[in-house]
């Protein structure tokens, strides 16, 4: 039997197994209540962590945390070039017929009546304003996309026709009524719904919207986040020395948040200063404030006291997950939230995936991604009571657990393609585990990754 985690090398990416259900958004739990929570192990000794929320319930609470947009309220449209990667806030309805007039699908000749046809001197180009009248037996050269004359019978492709020395056009094959003509409204009629509210604006959607007559699109605004880096022990450059360590979260969190579709409006380094933290939180205009460290009960852990001082509503105060159990979620204002991440790097990643990603998904209007599972290739140690998130690579249907998965370690997640959700007590070789995507990892099966962003 192979050694329990960590015990494997890395594997090449492979297919993933989608599944219909997921624990990620089940068992919503009840904020400000002890329902569905646990109070075991070391958590019980932390006065600030009274009731620990189970991991699935924490995810569900985070997804529900943003207040719903008022019915009928549609954000103002943004120019097409600014809408890429956002989500439609209203259905995309055609503003015109597509095509808006009969057009030629091919370069060649447009003909009227039976052949052979006398080729006129005129030609019809795309975008040409005038019209050409045809009588039976007439043909005129035409370009792809050009307007079809009202009297036309068909379009003959250039390679399917030949002209004789008298200027008459002969077909190389039978001509069918209406061939190679795109009739008006073939794709849609004005007023048809092209895409529903909630659709992701991809490059193809931009093209469709432009063709359908749009200059601006109604989209859910991109969430705005601010990152507050806490800790006097953090260096921004050079080698660690004399008890000081390099800050890994400052470089990591802003691009990670951007990969989740967020506009990061600021990164502030506050050290262990309670007043600076209070000032930063109360003056922030972000939809989401993300703090690093300071969520436990140590002498310089100022997050809980600051939230209490400003009467914030604690929605999640500790999660039964390893790493990252001291994470928290608070509502600062009706439309502003704070996610407190632990200071250890992999624990902070756990907090991002547990609390920040579901909240941001709701804020940006994105649907829940299709969950998938993979078979774990070997036994995986678990926590006796808590869910455990373990970095993995994927090969075929197998999840391969990685070394270096401690709370302070990033070496494993740096090469991972996802995090396996290990239930309390651990998992056995061959057991299917849910996989959380990293936002830059696009599955080969199961659709879009959680955080696909085109910015």
**16: which 2 tokens?**
């993933």
**8: which 2 tokens?**
């494997």
Tell me how far apart the alpha carbons of residues 133 and 331 are, in angstroms, rounded to a whole number.
69
Between the alpha carbon of residue 268 and those of residues 83, 226, 242, the distances in Å are: 28, 8, 24
Task: Report the candidate in 16, 12, 10 with the shortest Cα–Cα distance to residue 449.
Answer: 16
Let me know if 206 is exposed, middle or buried by CB neighbors in 10 A (0-12, 13-18, 19+).
Answer: middle
Other Cβ atoms within 10 Å of 100 Cβ, number: 15
Tell me how far apart the alpha carbons of residues 50 and 54 are, in angstroms, rounded to a whole number.
13
Structural domains of the chain, with CATH: 1-24+368-455 (2.40.340.10), 47-64+222-358 (3.40.980.10), 81-93+190-220 (3.90.105.10), 103-182 (2.170.190.11)
Q: Report pLDDT digits (tens) over 3-30.
A: 333 333 333 333 444 443 344 343 333 3
- What's the rounded mean pLDDT across residues 92-114? 95
Tell me how far apart the alpha carbons of residues 284 and 296 are, in angstroms, rounded to a whole number.
23
Q: What is the mean pLDDT of the chain?
A: 85
User: What pLDDT score was predicted for residue 263?
Assistant: 95
Task: Report the candidate in 200, 61, 44, 171 with the shortest Cα–Cα distance to residue 110.
Answer: 171
- Tokens 């159990």 belong to residue: 325
DSSP letter, residue 352: I
pLDDT band for position 163 (cuts 50, 70, 90): very high
User: What pLDDT score was predicted for residue 389?
Assistant: 97
User: What pLDDT score was predicted for residue 1?
Assistant: 36
| 17 close to 367: Cβ distance less than 8 angstroms | no
Q: Facing residues of 405 across strands?
A: none
User: Which range among 74-78, 129-133, 281-285, 442-446 has the greatest average pLDDT?
Assistant: 281-285
Tell me how far apart the alpha carbons of residues 276 and 294 are, in angstroms, rounded to a whole number.
13
In a 13 Å sphere around the CA of 28, the CA atoms on its Cβ side amount to 8
Q: Which range, of 60-64, 76-80, 134-138, 442-446, averages the lowest pLDDT?
A: 442-446
Q: Report pLDDT digits (tens) over 405-433.
A: 999 999 999 999 999 999 999 999 999 99
For residue 436, pLDDT over 50 is answered with yes
Which one is predicted more confidently, 169 or 444? 169
- What's the rounded mean pLDDT across residues 47-59? 79
User: What pLDDT score was predicted for residue 297?
Assistant: 85
In a 13 Å sphere around the CA of 144, the CA atoms on its Cβ side amount to 5
Tell me how far apart the alpha carbons of residues 21 and 18 are, in angstroms, rounded to a whole number.
9
User: What pLDDT score was predicted for residue 146?
Assistant: 94
Q: Facing residues of 119 across strands?
A: 139
Which one is predicted more confidently, 370 or 292? 292
Tell me how far apart the alpha carbons of residues 259 and 160 are, in angstroms, rounded to a whole number.
50
pLDDT > 90 in the chain, percent: 74
Q: Which range, of 235-249, 300-314, 355-369, 434-448, averages the lowest pLDDT?
A: 434-448
| 372 close to 446: Cβ distance less than 8 angstroms | yes
What is the full DSSP assignment across 139-172?
EEEE-TTPBPPTT--EEEEGGGEEE-TTSEEEES
CA angle 290, 293, 298 (to 5 degrees): 140
């Amino acid at each position: 039997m192979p050694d329990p985690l960590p015990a494997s090398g890395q594997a090449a990416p492979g297919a993933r197994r989608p599944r219909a259900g997921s624990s990620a958004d089940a068992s919503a739990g009840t904020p400000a209540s002890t329902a569905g929570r646990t109070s075991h192990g070391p958590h019980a000794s932390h006065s600030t962590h009274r009731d620990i929320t189970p991991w699935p319930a924490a995810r569900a609470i985070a997804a529900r945390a943003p207040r719903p947009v008022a019915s009928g309220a549609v954000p103002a449209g943004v120019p097409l070039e600014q809408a890429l990667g956002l989500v439609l806030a209203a259905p995309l309805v055609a503003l015109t017929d597509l095509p808006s007039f009969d057009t030629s699908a091919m370069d060649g000749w447009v003909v009227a009546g039976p052949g052979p046809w006398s080729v006129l001197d005129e030609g019809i180009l795309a975008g040409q304003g005038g019209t050409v009248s045809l009588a039976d037996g007439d043909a005129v050269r035409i370009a792809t996309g050009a307007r079809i004359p009202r009297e036309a019978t068909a379009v003959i492709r250039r390679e399917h026709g030949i002209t004789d020395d008298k200027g008459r056009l002969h077909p190389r094959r039978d001509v069918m009524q209406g061939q190679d003509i795109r009739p008006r409204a073939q794709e849609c009629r004005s007023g048809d719904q092209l895409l529903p509210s909630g659709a992701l604006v991809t490059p193809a959607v931009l093209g469709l919207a432009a063709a359908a007559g749009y200059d601006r699109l109604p989209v859910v605004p991109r969430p705005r986040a601010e990152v507050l880096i806490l800790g006097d022990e953090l260096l921004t450059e050079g080698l660690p020395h004399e008890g000081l360590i390099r800050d890994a979260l400052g470089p990591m969190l802003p691009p990670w948040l951007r990969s989740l579709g967020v506009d990061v409006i600021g990164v502030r380094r506050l050290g262990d200063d309670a007043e600076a933290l209070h000032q930063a939180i109360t003056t922030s205009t972000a939809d989401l404030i993300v703090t690093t460290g300071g969520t436990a009960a140590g002498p310089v852990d100022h997050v809980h006291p600051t939230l209490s001082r400003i009467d914030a509503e604690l929605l999640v105060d500790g999660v039964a997950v390893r790493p990252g159990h001291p994470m928290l979620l608070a509502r600062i204002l009706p439309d502003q939230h704070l996610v407190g991440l632990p200071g250890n790097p992999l624990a902070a990643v756990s907090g991002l995936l547990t609390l920040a990603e579901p909240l941001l998904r709701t804020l940006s209007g994105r649907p829940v991604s299709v969950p998938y599972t993979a078979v774990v290739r070997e036994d995986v140690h678990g926590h006796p009571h808590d869910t455990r998130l373990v970095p993995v690579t994927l090969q075929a249907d197998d999840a391969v657990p990685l070394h270096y998965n401690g709370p302070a370690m990033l070496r494993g997640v740096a090469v991972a393609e996802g995090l396996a959700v290990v239930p309390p007590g651990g998992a056995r070789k061959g057991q299917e585990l849910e996989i959380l995507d990293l936002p830059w990892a696009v599955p080969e099966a199961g659709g879009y990754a959680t955080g696909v962003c085109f910015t």
